[in-house]
Chains A and B, each alone.
Chain A
Amino acid sequence: MSAISLGKLTKVYSTGVKALDGLDLDVRDGEFVVLVGPSGCGKTTALRMVAGLETITSGTVAFDGQVVNDVSPRHRDVAMVFQNYALYPHLTVAENIGFALTNKKIPKREREQRVRSAAAALGLSGLLNRRPAQLSGGQRQRVAMGRAIVREPSVFLMDEPLSNLDAKLRVQMRSEVLRVHKAIGAATLYVTHDQVEAMTMGDRVAVLHDGVLQQYATPRELYDRPANLFVAEFIGSPEMNLYEASVAGGELVLGSQRLALGPAEAVLAPYRGQKVIAGVRPEDLRLGGAGRADQAAGAALTADVRVVEMLGSEKHAFFAIDAAAAGASALAAAAGEAEADAGLLAEQAHNGMARLDPRSAVRPGQRVTFGVDPRRLHFFDPGTGLAIR
């Protein structure tokens, strides 16, 4: 019996906009599940339907097996942390945290004690008499969490709670949130647009796009075996390099080069003589790992380096190969949006990127050879975008 389960959850607004289309999801007891996707993908809508703040067009929301579609959000025992924190501006921190408890008519002494322990757990003990206006963003965020945890709910919902914080604070708060989650032990549904948060925090991650679930799996699984092009590009930063390619004679034809297919040869059998989309992650391209043997084995990719960015911890080498790029940004370029730029920066035009050791000797204008492990290649059907397995 999962703590939260969504069955074909759908939301269509009265203006006709379909925000969510048949979402199936389950969250186990104590699990931390992340809903991730670009803006407008329906993740917040789904969260709000679980809370009861949004009416359900069709489908079910169930807690512990019981359908709660018709249960008012007041009685669902759900606590939520809002993106803008939604603190009561005229109440102190202590009153904010304890507000729900006053509604439940919990005696004053017990209420104060619970507020104090929640505040202590979040490091807010010294701020109990301040008002939200006097707090920093990070403190407000913690008050919002305190308000949620003091209720000891059975379901914990979080709507992009970290997106209003600056980058450094965000990293700190990630572990805070997980620590709090562990302490409460309630099933948690966490919404974000940041795939880094999703990958680092989630037990399982659901990727949504345009209201449709793309893949629901552990972060490892999403990274190693993305189910479709969207997930492949969305997960992992920097993005996966994608190219139009074809399968011929047991090899992958990538522009003027040929790569060995390795174990994927069998999977790609139906695509012999046809086009596919091939992807390789920037971190799977090794510089200087292409010895004679690799080249002979067809596991080497030659490319012209156009731009090199030095980050200190790594080097990003932007290169060009003579295959056509197939990523979403490349599609936009093909649609003519980036035409004007193409002419200007022809010398710098690139269609791929590699993450290299900071001490690598790469220079712009250089022609290099990357070693590619055929097992690290990803293949997608050009028509459906689904991964070829």
Chain B
Amino acid sequence: MSETVLRSPAGVIAPPGAARGRRRRSVYARRRGRSGLAFVTPFMIIFTLFMIAPLGYAIYQSLYTTKLIGGTRFSGFANYAAVLRSGPFWGGVIRVIVFGGIQIPVMLAIAFFFAAIFDLGVARWGPVLRAIYFIPFAVPIVVSSLMWGFLLDPAYGPFNRLMNAIGFQNFNWLSANLMLPSIIIIAIWEWTGYNCIILYTALKSVPRDVVEAAILDDTPLWKIILRIKLPMVRPAIIMLVFINTIGAMQLFIEPTILNNYQAGVVSNTWTPVIDIYNTAISDGEYQLGAAMAVVLAVVIIAISAASLAFRSRRREFA
């Protein structure tokens, strides 16, 4: 039916409902919307039950305190005050910030380096290498920590043996001083492959003719990679910074497992999540633990937002 049929001498006949402005959507659209709701409902139910509800419950519980004498009573922000005053907790926060601040840029730089090499097609056996790099992603962190614990064991681990063979002295990789650097290396082992593949696929979507134009302009290779390709994959980098930051701030498994190889190095408050776990489960003070978790969530949000803002203002890669 062409438009001309709807035209009356007085003007176009409007479809029903439009006369009242766009406020009321047509019956059809509303019915369609309801089907959409039906598709989304299963997810929303489970999501609400197993994410929103616990969240709400935790926040609710964080406002109460249970004492042996006196039972459970509303305590308002007393728990939060305790958290904010807790030196060890914030020590843990600083520690994971330092951890993330070193590990994330180093890992992203390495991942981008290899992604760029793969994208150039310069390395032989590219697909094989990429598959190898991705292996750590299929390894549970518990297992990675166990494996690395063996490797880095100061007395028996092969790394120290190799270093002795070359002539270097033994390092106690799991000592208090070197525990964090060791974990940084483990984290790089775990995550570089995944980041590398994402950056590689992002680089692959850079239009070929832009690179060809740069070649015709006699642009040196380093400039093509850093000044042209890198800025064009910025969305991927931002997403990766975001994801990696959230993960880094929740450091828990590696220190916990490595502590079994060198007892005592990892304290009960070494990282915020360790602190929360010990407080809520081991010590049974789950309300205080809930308050800690909420504070941690706020810190994570703040840091993620900050790192995103930081990234989008910088143009060059460090």
Contacts and interface: CB of A to CB of B under 8 A. Distances in A.
Complex contact flag A–B (Cβ < 8 Å): yes
Interface stretch (A72-80, A230-238, A252-260, A322-330): A72-80
Nearest to A157: B216
Given A74-B215, A83-B209, 9 more contacts: A82-B212, A86-B207, A86-B213, A87-B210, A88-B213, A88-B214, A89-B232, A90-B231, A90-B232
Contacts of B3: none
Interface in B191-228: 207, 209-210, 212-220, 223, 228
B216 A103 contact: no
A51 B231 CA distance: 26
Given A88-B228, A90-B231, A74 B216 contact: yes
A137 to B, nearest CB: 16
Size class of the contact patch on chain A = 20 to 34
A142 B214 CA distance: 17
Given A103-B220, A103-B223, A73 B210 contact: no
Interface string A75-111: 1001110111011111000000001100110000000
A319 B212 CA distance: 50
B212 to A, nearest CB: 5
A267 interface: no
B212 A53 contact: yes
Contacts of A83: 209
Interface in B232-249: 232, 234
A89 B213 CA distance: 13
Contacts of A87: 210
Contacts of A79: 216
Nearest to A82: B209
Given A88-B228, A90-B231, A90-B232, A74 B218 contact: yes
Contacts of B209: 82-84, 86
Contacts of A80: 212-213, 216
Interface residues of B, number: 17
B216 A73 contact: yes
A103 B218 contact: yes
Contact of B218 (A75, A82, A86, A147): A75
A53 B210 CA distance: 12
Contacts of B213: 80, 82, 86, 88, 147
A88 B215 CA distance: 13
B313 to A, nearest CB: 14
B207 A84 contact: yes
B202 to A, nearest CB: 14
A297 B222 CA distance: 76
A53 B231 CA distance: 23
A140 to B, nearest CB: 13
B224 to A, nearest CB: 10
B220 to A, nearest CB: 7
B215 A73 contact: yes
A321 to B, nearest CB: 36
B207 A100 contact: no
A104 B212 contact: no
Given A82-B209, A88-B210, A51 B216 contact: yes
Interface string A241-265: 0000000000000000000000000
B250 to A, nearest CB: 33
Given A89-B232, A90-B231, A103 B210 contact: no
Interface in A43-85: 51, 53, 73-75, 78-80, 82-84
A357 B312 CA distance: 63
Contacts of B207: 84, 86
Contacts of A100: 217-219
B221 to A, nearest CB: 11
A73 B218 CA distance: 8
Contact of A86 (B210, B219, B220): B210
A86 B234 CA distance: 18
Nearest to B231: A90
Nearest to A101: B217
Nearest to B208: A86
B212 A103 contact: no
Nearest to B230: A90
A51 B218 CA distance: 12
Contacts of A74: 215-216, 218
A29 to B, nearest CB: 21
Nearest to A81: B213
Nearest to B213: A86
10 contacts: A51-B216, A79-B216, A80-B213, A82-B209, A84-B209, A86-B210, A90-B232, A100-B219, A103-B223, A104-B218
